[in-house]
Structure formats: C-alpha cells, structure tokens
Amino acid sequence: MENLIDIKGVTHAYKTESGPLPVLDGLDVAVPEGTFAAVVGPSGCGKSTLTRLVAGLMKPDEGEVWLHGERVKGPRKTVGMAFQNPVLLEWRTILQNVILPLEIVAPSMSQKDREARAHELLDMVGLTGFDDKRPSELSGGMRQRASLCRSLVHKPEVLIMDEPFGALDAFTREDLWQTMRDLRAAEPFTCVLITHDLRESVFLGDQVIVLSGRPARTQYVMPIDLPKDRTLDVLYTPEVADMLHILRDQIKIAQGREPEVH
C-alpha cells in the first residue's frame, strides 16, 4: 500500500530569544493510505509541530514532508484539522459552522448541496436537529462532534487531529472514540491523531508512534493488529493490556526515566 503521508528526516527548531529551540530531530513517520496513525509522546515534545507540518502551515528547516506523492509546500484543500479547542464560530449556527470549509473549498457548490452534506455528517455523529443551535448552547462533547463534522465536511484525504478529546471527561471521550470509528467505517480517510491517552491510541490506531522527548524523533512504532470494528471491550483483553504496558514503558523512556521492572 502506498504511503499517503511520508515524513522523512524532518528537523525543525523554533527561533526564541534565548537561541534556537530544536523540537524535531530527524523525524520519520509513514502513514499508509486509509490507515490511522496515533502519535504519542511526552508533553512539549513537538507533536503539535508535526500537525502543522503535515497541514502545510509551516515548513521544516530540514527534511521532507510528502502527501499523496507530492512534496508539501503550503496548505492544501485535501486536509482537515481538529484541535483540542473545538474552535466553533460563535456567530454561526452549528449547521453554518459545519459548512464553513465548503465555502472555501467548493465555492460553486449550491447551498442546498452544502447543507445536505453537512446533514449527512451531523446525523452520523448524533447531532440531528441541532442545525440552528449556537455553539454556546451545546455541551463540550457535542461541540467536539460538530467540530469533527466540520473537519470532514469537504471529504479530506487526511484528517489531522491535535488532542481533540483531551478536554473531555472520560465517558464522553469513549463515546467520541466510537463516533470516530463509525465515521471512518462510513467514509474511509487517512488519519493522524496526536494524543496523550494510550488507551485512545490503541483503540483508534492502526499503528501507534511513540516520539522521544524534545527534540523529537521516532522512538518506537507499534502496529495494532486488532479488528477494524473493535469495541471498547477490546481494551480489557490481555492482548491490549500487554500493548499498553509496552507503550507505557516507551513513554517512560521518552521522558528520560527508567522503565518499571515487571
């Protein structure tokens, strides 16, 4: 299978007043088309920089980012982004929020078609009938659902998510994992998820990539061979417990601490 995203030897440093701050150091990430890559790592290790590189919002100092066989040189319409903050526009209704990317990407699309497309997604995430609500009238979980719809409304090849469920409570988060799984089953897309939650990375990912501490490089890659239609029960199997154990140890190493002895 062809790699949809190929990050090859990317090195990047931010310019700060006290000199350059290296965040990425020879990072390699490969994500085959249609698969889900979960990226975990210690806090502040450059994970968010990774999302901005793939989205074409910034250029790396060294190395290459390839998307669908083309070198990424700037933003492109085939990318969708979601953040921890749902960044819904308060002056627009939920429906208008979801439609927003289509106004940029598909200016010639009729309003009727736009709304139909938005309704497709809103129905899938369980927000039927919330069209005319304002973002402030929705709960945190519902807002993040609407935000996901907006990220996907223009059928991007790649969805890049930067800790999208990080601010939600545990139960809402699990609900959204399942929503995410169902969305991918309905409309396959390639996905990069930045997360701090190891259970989330195993439940959603086809591979889990562990980044080292700053400056980050790829420290460990774990393929997740679980069925696509996995349920939350899978998280309580011995198989997954072993995976989580290994990942936990890898994070400890990335943090520069000794792994616990088992």
Partner 1 sequence: MLRQIGIPVASVLVFLGLWELLVWVNGWPNFKMASPSDLPPAYIRYWELFLVMGWQTLWRTVAGLALAVLVGTAIGMIIGFSRIARDALYPLLVGFNAIPKATLVPVISLIFIGQHDFNTVLMAFMISFFPIAVSVGIGLSTLEPEYRDILRSLGASRFTIFRKIALPKTLPEFFGALKVSVTLAFIGTNLVEIVSPHGRGLGALFKSGETNGDYPLMFAVLIALAFLGIVLYYAVVYLEKIFAGWAERPQS
Residues that bind partner 1 (CB under 8 A): 52, 55-57, 74-77, 79-81, 83, 85, 87, 89-91, 100-101, 103-105, 134, 136-137, 150, 154
Smallest separation, CB 85 to partner 1 (Å): 6
* Contact call for residues 37 and 195 (beta carbons, < 8 A): no
The rounded distance, in Å, linking the Cα atoms of 121 and 50 is: 27
Cβ-based nearer residue to partner 1, 96 or 207: 96
Cβ-based nearer residue to partner 1, 85 or 219: 85
The rounded distance, in Å, linking the Cα atoms of 256 and 153 is: 41
Smallest separation, CB 8 to partner 1 (Å): 21
Cβ-based nearer residue to partner 1, 104 or 261: 104
Smallest separation, CB 67 to partner 1 (Å): 12
Cβ-based nearer residue to partner 1, 159 or 210: 159
Smallest separation, CB 258 to partner 1 (Å): 37
* Contact call for residues 98 and 177 (beta carbons, < 8 A): no
Q: Per-residue DSSP letters for 200-254?
A: HHHHH-SEEEEEPSSSB-EEEEEE----TT--GGGGGSHHHHHHHHHHHHHHHHH
Cβ-based nearer residue to partner 1, 99 or 235: 99
Query: Where do we find the tokens 């907006």?
Result: 150
Cα torsion 3, 174, 98, 126 to 10°: value is: 120
Smallest separation, CB 175 to partner 1 (Å): 23
